[in-house]
Amino acid sequence: MTAQLDHTIVHSSDRFESARFLTGLLGEPEPGAFGPFATVRVGNGVTIDYADSIVDRDRIVMQHLAFLVSEEEFDDICARIAERGLPYWGGPGHQEPQQINHRHHGRGVYVDDPDGHAIEFLTHPYVEEE
């Protein structure tokens, strides 16, 4: 298959606050602006486009974004999470508070953005256990 993901839209209560949250954890520059979006470009050319929701924050549907990062990037991201005093989890449903996981032959951590979207950072792609 030749189809590639180009961008995805994530609804937020404040598009630039949410985009800056992500760029801050990734250690990347300020998000860009494109039309009604605050954009975050990730390593493979995909953009995460944050849009101000037209409904109230309580009605924003939570999404899950997972980012595959290097071991060094993971260490840097975890340091930024700790510096900000953010709650984080080793499991996707807020299990294992203030822990990282060592599943799937790597490390992983989950943190919520300002609107409750689950942001996952992992060092190894998921593989089926045999």
pLDDT score for 54: 74
Average per-residue pLDDT for the chain: 92
pLDDT score for 40: 97
Q: Which residues have a Cβ under 8 Å from the Cβ of 82 and sit 6 or more positions away?
A: none
pLDDT score for 59: 75
**Residue 129 pLDDT > 70, yes or no?**
no
Quick one: tokens of 57? 């924050």
> Considering the entire predicted model, what is its pTM?
0.90
Per DSSP, the residues of 83-116 read HTT---BSSTTS-SBT--B--TTS-EEEEE-TT-
Per-residue model confidence as pLDDT tens digits over 28-60: 999 999 999 999 999 889 999 999 987 665 678
Quick one: tokens of 85? 């005093």
